[in-house]
């Protein structure tokens, strides 16, 4: 027994560096994951409340004060529900699909810079990594649709797959525009190249690409008005129709995490991430007493709060779209993706090339 | 043992095992998913060689796009699982092919002097992506452009093949749909004739 513990200690000493690195990283990951999951939970609550107020209803208001405990109640309910596995379905793949969706949705957060120093993994090919991870999200949907052994689920998965393939190209071209403007694949460098004021951000020179990126983002996450994959009126619930309990909940969480990811990326790529919209040097000094002055300075300076504000704005837009637009027909979605969005991105990349060649101020100086 | 070495053996064993089972499994969807696993682990292998650009592009292009289309086709066609009747013939061919490939690889690896030929830039200041871009657009510009041209031809050919089907299929004309108005669709009948 003593020998065994000694051996274990020996091993842990040999791999001390690796072990400390792993534990350090795990703590950082949980620091990202836990707030994200809480935001996801309250995002569902916000969605129900906002849509309710847009439609003149009250929304959830029974559980807790103003219905604030509703997400917890939903979670508990889904957790204790029975997981039904359909007959003749592929059990392994059926259970694997939600795991894949969840993993991929959260893996992309590894390279998101929350602040000038707050980033889990500051890799050079950050944008490429995000593109790769978002393109993997489709596997969860396809596997779920196929393994369910249900016609509705398979049709939903097929619709979703063709939709994601179509809009991924437009999304990729929009990102090419950002890469050309910033000259880097690193997300931190992309933000730093937008330094200045609100008009130095990339949304001004890349306005069409910004619009296309956000539209493609809405389509990639299968949200209204592009939610043909779920299509309640035609396919019941699309690819996750056979899932119950936690399986359904995991798909749900992944979808909302993806929405938050797209919002965060839009704010990073086109709206300067953690950069402040004000140019501090032109504002001058504040003639206030010490404490208030410090708080004000902190608020106008660059920081994580600007990133959060921008991200929350785009998250609100997702809900706003859902409350406003009716669902696209399937062939209309395909036409919009292939025949409108992709040609616009190609043309705008060409125009941007001219901008860069003539060094148009202040973005391409 | 170094942690990188352990990881290497883990990843390569996953690749080899899933490659073998890829050939053995009867279900085509399982085979496609095993191919996804192989590509993913190859990407990890490249990442361990510090080729981050190539490894992420492998995941993006092959796993994210090509294999999605594979799965798409395999699921839609619903290929029935059936036993091959002439298994011995297949076995003969597969043994011959694998022996030839093994011999080729053996010759490439053991009779070839790698050390003096490949000129790898290993400065830490330039990142991997930048180096690949530099090489593609300077030393290998001709082959790079030729590849791009071949791909363009392939795209146009694929579209051209599809265009011939146009007469037989029913499709909507978006222009007509947009120009449609209330007047051309609705007719109000006056009077008490009903």
- Please state the domain extents for chain B: 1-79, 120-167
pLDDT digits (tens, 9 = 90+) for B125-152: 567 777 788 888 888 889 999 999 999 9
* B68 closest CB neighbour out of A123, A146, A161: A161
- Report the half-sphere exposure of B82 (CA within 13 A, side-chain side): 6
Cα gap A157→A141, rounded to integer Å: 6
Tell me which residue of A94, A158, A7 sits closest to B33, measured CA to CA.
Answer: A94
Confidence of residue B124 (pLDDT cuts 50, 70, 90): low
User: % helix / strand / coil in chain A, to the nearest 5?
Assistant: 70, 0, 30
Whether domain B1-79 has CATH 3.40.1160.10: the reply is: no
Contacts of A190 (CB under 8 A, 6+ apart): A127, A178, A179, A182, A184, A268, A269
Does residue B76 register a pLDDT over 70? yes
Question: B60 to chain A, minimum CA–CA distance in Å?
Answer: 4
Confidence of residue B115 (pLDDT cuts 50, 70, 90): low
Contacts across the A-B interface (CB distance below 8 Å): 66
Question: B97 to chain A, minimum CA–CA distance in Å?
Answer: 32
Q: Chain A: residue nearest B71 by CA?
A: A142
Cα gap A272→A362, rounded to integer Å: 14
Q: Chain B: residue nearest A165 by CA?
A: B65
Which of chain A's residues have a Cβ under 8 Å away from the Cβ of B69?
Answer: 165
Location of structure tokens 């749900």: A252
**What average pLDDT does the segment B93-120 reach?**
79
CA triplet B58, A188, A365: central angle to 5 degrees?
Answer: 105
- Is B53 in CB contact (< 8 Å) with chain A? yes
Please give the pLDDT value at position B121: 53
- A225 upstream amide cis, omega within 30 of 0: yes
Question: B2 to chain A, minimum CA–CA distance in Å?
Answer: 9
- Token reading at A37: 């999951």
- Token reading at A322: 């859902």
Query: Are B63 and A136 within 8 A, CB to CB?
Result: yes
Q: List the single best residue of B36, B44, B56 to mutate versus A (max A Cβ within 10 A).
A: B56
Residuewise pLDDT in 10s, chain A (365 residues): 667 777 777 776 677 777 788 888 888 888 888 998 899 989 989 998 999 998 888 888 888 788 888 888 888 888 888 888 877 777 888 888 888 889 988 888 888 888 877 788 888 888 888 888 888 888 888 888 888 888 888 888 888 888 888 888 888 888 888 888 888 888 888 888 888 777 888 888 888 899 999 999 898 888 878 887 776 667 677 778 788 878 888 888 888 999 999 999 999 888 888 888 777 666 655 555 667 777 777 777 778 888 898 899 999 998 998 888 888 888 788 888 888 889 999 999 998 888 888 887 777 76
DSSP string, chain B: --HHHHHHHHHHHHHHHHHHHHHH-S-HHHHHHHHHHHHHHHHHHHHHTT-HHHHHHHIIIIIIIIHHHHHHHHHHHTPPP---S-HHHHHHHHHHHHHHHHHHHHHHHHS---TTT------SSS-HHHHHHHHHHTTTHHHHHHHHHHHHHHHHHHHHHHHGGGGTS----HHHHHH--HHHH--PPPSS--
Contacts of B30 (CB under 8 A, 6+ apart): none
Query: Are B65 and A158 within 8 A, CB to CB?
Result: no
Contacts of B41 (CB under 8 A, 6+ apart): B11, B12, B14, B15, B18
Does residue B100 register a pLDDT over 90? yes
- Is B63 in CB contact (< 8 Å) with chain A? yes
Please give the pLDDT value at position A149: 81
User: Do A200 and A194 contact (CB within 8 A), yes or no?
Assistant: yes
Query: Are A135 and B29 within 8 A, CB to CB?
Result: no
Please give the pLDDT value at position A263: 92
Query: Are A131 and B72 within 8 A, CB to CB?
Result: no
Question: B59 to chain A, minimum CA–CA distance in Å?
Answer: 6
Which of chain A's residues have a Cβ under 8 Å away from the Cβ of B68?
Answer: 135, 138-139, 142, 161, 165
- Is B4 in CB contact (< 8 Å) with chain A? no
């Amino acid at each position: 027994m003593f020998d065994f513990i000694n051996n274990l200690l020996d091993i842990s000493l040999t791999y001390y560096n690796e072990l400390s690195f792993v534990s350090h990283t795990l703590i950082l990951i949980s620091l990202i994951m836990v707030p994200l999951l809480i935001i996801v939970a309250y995002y569902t609550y916000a969605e129900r409340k906002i849509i309710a107020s847009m439609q003149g209803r009250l929304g959830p208001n029974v559980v807790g004060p103003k219905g604030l405990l509703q997400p917890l109640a939903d979670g508990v309910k889904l957790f204790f529900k029975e997981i039904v596995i359909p007959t003749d379905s592929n059990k392994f793949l059926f259970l694997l699909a939600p795991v894949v969706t969840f993993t991929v949705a959260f893996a992309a957060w590894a390279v998101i810079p929350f602040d000038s120093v707050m980033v889990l993994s500051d890799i050079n090919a950050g944008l490429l990594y995000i593109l790769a991870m978002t393109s993997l999200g489709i596997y969860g949907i396809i596997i779920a649709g196929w393994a369910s052994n249900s016609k509705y689920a398979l049709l939903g998965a097929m619709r979703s797959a063709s939709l994601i393939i179509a809009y991924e190209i437009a999304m990729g071209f929009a990102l090419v525009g950002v890469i050309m403007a910033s000259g880097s694949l690193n997300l931190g460098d992309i933000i730093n190249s937008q330094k200045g004021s609100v008009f130095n951000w990339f949304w001004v020179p890349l306005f069409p690409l910004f619009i296309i990126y956000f539209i493609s983002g809405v389509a990639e996450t299968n949200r209204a008005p592009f939610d043909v994959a779920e299509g309640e009126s035609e396919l019941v619930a699309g690819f996750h129709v056979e899932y119950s309990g936690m399986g359904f909940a995991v798909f749900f969480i992944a979808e909302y995490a993806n929405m938050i990811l797209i919002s965060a990326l839009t704010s990073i790529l086109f709206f300067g991430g953690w950069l402040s919209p004000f140019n501090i040097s032109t504002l001058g000094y504040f003639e206030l007493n010490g404490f208030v002055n410090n708080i004000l300075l902190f608020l106008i300076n660059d920081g994580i709060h600007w990133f959060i504000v921008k991200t929350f704005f785009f998250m609100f837009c997702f809900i706003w779209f859902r409350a406003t637009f009716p669902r696209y027909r399937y062939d209309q979605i395909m036409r919009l993706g292939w025949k409108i969005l992709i040609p616009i991105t190609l043309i705008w990349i060409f125009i941007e090339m001219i901008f860069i060649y003539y060094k148009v101020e202040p973005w391409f100086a | 043992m170094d942690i990188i070495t352990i990881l290497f053996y883990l990843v390569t064993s996953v690749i080899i095992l899933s490659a073998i089972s890829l050939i053995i499994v009867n279900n085509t969807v399982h085979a496609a998913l095993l191919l996804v696993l192989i590509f993913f682990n190859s990407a990890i292998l490249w990442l361990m060689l510090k080729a981050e650009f190539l490894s992420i592009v492998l995941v993006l292009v092959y796993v994210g796009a090509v294999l999605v289309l594979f799965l798409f086709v395999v699921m839609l066609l619903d290929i029935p699982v059936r036993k091959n009747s002439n298994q011995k013939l297949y076995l003969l061919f597969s043994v011959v092919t694998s022996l030839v490939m093994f011999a080729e690889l053996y010759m490439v690896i053991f009779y070839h002097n790698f050390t003096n030929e490949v000129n790898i830039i290993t400065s830490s200041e330039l990142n991997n992506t930048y180096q690949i871009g530099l090489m593609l657009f300077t030393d290998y510009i001709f082959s790079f452009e030729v590849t791009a041209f071949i791909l363009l031809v392939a795209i146009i050919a694929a579209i051209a093949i599809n265009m011939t089907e146009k007469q037989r299929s029913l499709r909507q004309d978006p222009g007509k749909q947009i120009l449609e108005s209330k007047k051309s669709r609705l007719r109000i009948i006056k009077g008490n004739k009903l």
